[in-house]
Each structure stands twice: as structure tokens, then as C-alpha cells.
């Protein structure tokens, strides 16, 4: 699909335009501003309305792209490129290049949806709203950039850009031990990025280009580092981002102390950058190394699934519990990838999308509950469903989706991963099955202790969901989760299209290796 119009650039940089607008227009928080002083009753809060408008506009653009996306053509569509840096002499050529294929299109769409959710869930934020919504939009741009970059350097730039808004959003608008958590998040990511950059430079210099489409895996042999080292270096960054055990401990801290919208985006799309990177970069550029690493990936995946779930069960903070469950769920991505087949990889990609929606919704629900109770300690809550039944419906629904109930999105991804991976990773899948039981245990037990049980009069005054923004988020996410659960083809067909070339290149190198060896 070639629209003859740089639609992707528009999509990616539209949020930045929103940032400019927010910066130029007055915000409600500046009472000295003459415009606001004169506005009737200070009723209009420009930043959030601008942010909502921009987020909706990106959602509409990405929806149009999603619909216009040619489901019969392989490869990248809506490509938008020109040469940016040409230093032929030293072999450093960087392109400004964006494009989407079957793998990235659903993730772009997911990012646009969750950005709208993030703005809506922040509707009651009062502190420094101008900066807050501006940084949220910067975050959206950076994530969209990561998912659509076709050049390693561009990918890296957007990957790093995301740190700035995240650090500020957590450390200014967060709660609890927010400075520690924000710094921990940044340090972990930067630690991984350093390795990733070395890997990218090694790849790009060896291949004479940083264009993902043009790097051939045989060119990697000429790099100044051995291919497995490059693979491992880049893997460190993605493993931290995903995250997998044992580099996961930044996640619960960052999630717990982040404001709700940031938790939604962090769980919903930022973690997906790790899974996306593994599929898009590691397995596309170095299928031979990836094929050799399958057992290691499966083991790391299973350890994350089972160990993550066991640690989740002991959590006493509701938000931290959901955060730990992400570690377990992201292990499924590695397990699916380790299958090295279309089914397993499609399942892994599907898990990225479905987990984004489901955990996004879980964090929304926990955030809305926290807005009311001002506590996240599970032991402080009891019988909330009596007082806030509508939020109770949302929470139970999201929880059931999280434990992989059929007819909801998560089941489709998990069953596809299991069916795809069993043949090549029999032992790993057999162990991973227990993750399904453990997920049910931590979700249902948490629900039992918070929403069920006797009435607690402490909470009698709590207002239920009562704002249009809350109804919109809950109903919208529920509808999407059910849609993907009963009719997964909407997304699965695209993802399948996206992973097919990856599997083809894996099969080519594996059969060549078998023939040559």
C-alpha cells in the first residue's frame, strides 16, 4: 500500500505537534495567565483536551492504515524514506525510513489505542497538567517510532527518546519511592542500550547499511564481533525491556510507583518493544544465531513464566501483583519465539498484542480503584464489589482475561504458543502449562481478597465509575478483548503475514546449515 503521502511520518510526529500546541496554549495550572483568568470559571483545561484530540487523531490515522493495509502483499507498506546521513567513506549511512508490515501494524494500532486510554485515564490529573500531557505525547511518538523504524539508528534513537518522558513522568507524577524507581528504570534500560548500540554498530558497519531491509545475515560474518556476541548484546537490551528473569526487578518498582497512564503504556506497549525487537531485529537479521539459541530462549521463557507467577502469588500490593504477572506473561513470548515456526511466532506476536490490551486494562482498573481507595494494599481492601460494582465488573473481566479464559484475547495467544512450540520444545511447554494454573491462582485470590468478602464500611462512600472517560475506557477495552478472543483473525492474519518471512529465513539458514554440515 503506497498512499503517495508520508502518512507514517504524519502519524509518528502528530503527537509532537500536539506537544507544541500544548506548549503554546495556556494550561489550567497557571492562574497568572490572563487567558485562563478571563476564561469563564477556568472550565477549559486545554492540555488534556489537546492531548485527547491528538491521541484520537493518531488513532484514526492508524485505524485507516489498519483498514487500508494490503493483506495480500508481503513486506513493508506505507514506506516513507530518504537518505539522512551519508558518510560513504566510513560506511556510515543512516536512512530516515519508516514502514509497517504485518508484524508492526497491529502494534502501531495498539499503541494508538492505549495512548487514548492513557489520556482518558489521566483525566483527573491536576498536577502540572501542561507538562504531563506533553510528556505523554512525546512517549507516544517514541513508541510509534520504535515500531515503525526501518533503520537501526532510527530505531535506537526512538528507543532512547522514550526514556526522557518515562523518567519525568514517573519521578514527578508517580507515588511511593518514585525517584528510586524512575532512576532504576532508566539505568536498566541504558545498561541494555549500551550493549544494543555496540551490536547495531557492528551490524551496520559490517553490512555497510543500517537499513533493516538490506542487512543480509551473511554480511554479519564480516563484523568486528562474532555473530553470537552481537546477538547476545542486542538480546540484553530486549531481555531487560521484555523483561525476563533475572533482569526483571526494575519492572515491579517502575509500575508500582508510576502514575496509572504510565503503567498502562509501560505494560501495554513499552514492554512490547522488547518482544518486537526480538522478532524484527534479532530473528530477521540473524536467523542462524537465533535458530541456535532456541533452547536457551525456551528455558529463559519458562523460568520467567513459572518463577514470575510464583513470585506474583506472594505480592501484597495489588499493582505490584499485576506488574509481576507481566513478567510471567512475557515469558510466553520467548517460548513462542523458541518454536521457530509460523504458529509459535504468530502466537508470540499475538501475545504482545493481547497482553497489551489485557494488562493495560488491569492497570486501568487498579488505577481507578486506587484513585478512590488511596491504597493498593490488598489486605486493606475487602468487599469492594458491594460499593463499586461497575469497577468490580471491569476488574473481574480483566482478571479473567489475564488468566487466559477462552473467548477472551489472552487464551488465543497462549494456546497458539503452546500448540506451536510443543513439538520442538516439548519439555519447556509441559512445564509452562503450570503457568496457566498459577495465573488463575494469583488472579482469583487477589479478586477474592479485594472485591469479594464481607462489606467494609470504610469504603461505603466510594464513588463507582461515574465519568464518561471511565465508561469509555472500560467498555472499549472489554469490546476489543472480546473481539480478539472470538474473532482473532482480525489481527492474527496480519501477524502471520509479518512472521512468515522471518520463519522463511530461519528455515533457509537451517536447511543450508544442515546441507552444508
Residues lying near other proteins in the complex (CB under 8 A): 187, 245-246, 248-249, 307, 310-311, 313-315, 341-347, 350, 383, 385-386, 389-390, 400, 405-407, 411-412, 415-416, 418-420, 422-423, 429-430, 433-434, 436-437, 440-441, 444-445, 447-448, 451-455, 463-464, 466, 487-489, 492-493, 495-496, 503
* Secondary structure letter of residue 452 according to DSSP: S
Q: Which residue has the cell 513470548?
A: 333
Give alpha helix (H) positions in 269-405. Answer: 271-277, 283-285, 287-292, 294-313, 318-337, 342-373, 384-387, 389-402
Least distance to other proteins from the beta carbon of 457, Å? 13
**Least distance (Å) from other proteins to the CB of residue 180?**
9
The DSSP bridge partners found for residue 516 are none
Output the smallest distance, CB 510 to other proteins, in A: 16
At residue 225, φ and ψ (nearest 5 deg) are -125, 150
- Residue 226 vs 246, nearer CB to other proteins: 246
Query: For other proteins, which is the closer residue by CB, 92 or 123?
Result: 123
Q: Of 218 and 464, which has the nearer Cβ to other proteins?
A: 464
Task: Please say which residue, 70 or 423, places its beta carbon nearer to other proteins.
Answer: 423
Is the N-terminal amide bond of 486 cis, ω within 30° of 0? no
Quote the least distance from Cβ 264 to other proteins, whole Å.
24
Give min distance, CB of 416 to other proteins, in A: 5
Question: Least distance from C-beta 433 to other proteins, angstroms?
Answer: 5
Which CB atom, from 81 or from 253, has the smaller least distance to other proteins? 253
Render the burial of 16-40: b for 16+ CB within 10 Å, e for the rest: bebbebbeebbbbbeeeeeebeeee
Shorter beta-carbon distance to other proteins: residue 95 or 449: 449
DSSP 445: H
Residue with Cβ nearer other proteins (10 or 299) = 299
Tell which residue, 102, 168, 100, 92, has the closest CA to residue 131: 168
Provide the minimum distance between the beta carbon of 64 and other proteins in the complex, in angstroms, as a whole number.
Answer: 24
Helix/strand/coil for 4: coil
Looking up cell 485527547 gives 52
Q: Which is nearer to other proteins, 3 or 463 (CB)?
A: 463
Q: Nearer to other proteins by C-beta: 97 or 385?
A: 385
CB of 249 to other proteins, least distance (A): 4
User: Residue 82 in contact with residue 96, Cβ under 8 Å?
Assistant: yes
| Closest residue by Cα to residue 361 from 484, 238, 237 | 484
Q: At its nearest, how many Å lie between other proteins and the CB of residue 298?
A: 15
Query: Cell 555496540 sits at which residue?
Result: 198
CB of 89 to other proteins, least distance (A): 25
Give whichever of 187 and 222 is closer to other proteins, judged by the CB atom. 187
CB-nearer residue toward other proteins: 130 or 376 = 376
Cis-peptide, bond into residue 449, ω within 30° of zero: no
What's the min distance (Å) between Cβ of 283 and other proteins? 15
Nearer to other proteins, 203 or 494 (CB): 494
Q: For residues 449, 455, 458 and 462, what is the CA-based torsion angle, rounded to 10 degrees?
A: 90
At CB < 8 A and 24+ separation, what contacts does 182-190 make? 182/254, 182/257, 184/250, 184/253, 184/254, 185/250, 185/253, 185/254, 187/250, 188/240, 188/247, 188/250, 189/163, 189/237, 189/240, 189/241, 189/250, 190/163
Distance in Å, CB of 208 to other proteins, minimum: 27
Paired residues of 80 in beta bridges: 98
Radius of gyration of the chain (CA): 22
Q: How far is the CB of 146 from other proteins (least distance, A)?
A: 24
> DSSP string of 235-295?
HHHHHHHTT-TTS-THHHHHHHHS-HHHHHHIIIIIHHHHHHHIIIIIHHH-HHHHHHTHH
d(C-alpha 26, C-alpha 245), whole Å: 45
Smaller CB separation from other proteins, 463 or 513: 463
Amino acid at each position: 500500500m503506497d498512499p503517495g503521502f508520508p502518512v507514517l511520518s504524519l502519524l509518528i510526529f502528530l503527537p509532537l505537534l500536539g506537544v507544541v500546541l500544548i506548549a503554546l496554549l495556556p494550561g489550567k495550572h497557571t492562574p497568572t495567565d490572563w487567558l485562563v483568568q478571563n476564561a469563564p470559571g477556568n472550565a477549559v483545561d486545554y492540555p488534556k483536551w489537546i492531548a485527547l484530540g491528538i491521541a484520537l487523531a493518531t488513532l484514526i490515522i492508524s485505524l485507516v492504515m489498519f483498514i487500508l493495509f494490503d493483506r495480500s502483499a508481503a513486506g513493508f507498506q506505507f514506506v516513507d524514506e530518504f537518505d539522512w546521513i551519508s558518510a560513504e567513506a566510513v560506511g556510515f549511512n543512516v536512512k530516515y525510513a519508516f514502514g509497517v508490515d504485518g508484524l508492526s501494524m497491529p502494534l502501531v494500532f495498539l499503541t494508538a489505542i492505549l495512548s487514548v486510554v492513557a489520556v482518558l485515564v489521566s483525566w483527573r490529573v491536576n498536577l502540572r497538567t501542561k507538562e504531563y500531557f506533553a510528556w505523554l505525547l512525546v512517549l507516544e511518538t517514541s513508541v510509534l517510532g520504535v515500531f515503525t523504524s526501518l533503520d537501526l539508528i532510527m530505531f535506537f534513537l526512538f528507543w532512547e527518546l522514550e526514556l526522557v518522558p518515562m523518567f519525568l513522568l514517573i519521578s514527578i507524577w508517580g507515588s511511593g519511592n518514585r525517584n528510586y524507581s524512575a532512576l532504576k528504570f532508566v539505568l536498566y534500560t541504558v545498561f541494555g542500550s549500551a550493549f544494543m548500540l555496540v551490536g547495531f554498530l557492528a551490524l551496520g558497519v559490517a553490512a555497510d547499511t543500517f537499513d533493516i531491509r538490506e542487512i543480509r545475515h551473511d554480511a554479519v560474518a564480516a563484523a568486528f564481533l562474532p555473530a553470537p556476541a552481537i546477538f547476545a548484546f542486542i538480546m540484553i537490551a530486549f531481555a531487560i525491556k521484555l523483561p525476563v528473569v533475572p533482569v526483571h526487578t526494575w519492572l515491579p518498582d517502575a509500575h508500582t510507583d508510576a502514575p496509572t497512564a504510565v503503567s498502562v503504556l509501560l505494560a501495554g506497549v513499552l514492554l512490547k518493544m522488547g518482544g518486537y525487537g526480538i522478532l524484527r531485529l534479532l530473528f530477521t537479521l540473524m536467523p542462524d544465531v537465533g535458530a541456535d539459541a532456541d533452547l536457551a530462549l525456551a528455558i529463559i521463557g519458562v523460568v520467567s513464566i513459572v518463577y514470575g507467577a510464583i513470585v506474583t502469588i506472594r505480592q501484597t500490593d495489588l499493582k505490584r501483583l499485576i506488574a509481576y504477572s507481566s513478567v510471567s506473561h512475557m515469558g510466553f513470548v520467548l517460548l513462542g519465539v523458541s518454536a521457530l515456526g509460523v504458529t509459535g511466532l504468530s502466537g508470540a506476536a499475538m501475545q504482545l498484542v493481547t497482553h497489551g490490551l489485557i494488562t493495560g486494562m488491569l492497570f486501568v482498573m487498579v488505577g481507578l480503584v486506587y484513585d478512590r481507595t488511596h491504597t493498593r494494599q490488598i489486605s486493606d481492601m475487602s468487599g469492594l464489589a458491594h460499593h463499586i460494582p461497575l469497577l468490580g465488573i471491569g476488574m473481574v473481566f480483566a482478571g479473567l482475561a489475564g488468566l487466559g479464559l477462552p473467548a477472551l484475547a489472552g487464551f488465543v495467544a497462549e494456546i497458539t504458543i503452546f500448540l506451536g512450540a510443543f513439538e520442538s520444545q516439548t519439555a519447556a511447554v509441559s512445564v509452562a502449562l503450570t503457568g496457566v494454573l498459577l495465573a488463575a491462582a494469583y488472579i482469583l485470590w487477589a479478586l477474592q481478597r479485594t472485591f469479594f468478602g464481607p462489606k467494609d464500611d470504610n469504603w461505603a462512600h466510594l464513588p463507582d465509575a461515574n465519568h464518561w472517560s471511565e465508561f469509555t475506557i472500560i467498555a472499549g477495552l472489554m469490546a476489543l478483548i472480546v473481539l480478539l478472543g472470538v474473532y482473532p483473525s482480525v489481527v492474527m492474519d496480519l501477524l502471520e503475514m509479518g512472521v512468515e518471512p522471518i520463519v522463511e529465513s530461519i528455515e533457509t539458514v537451517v536447511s543450508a546449515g544442515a546441507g552444508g554440515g
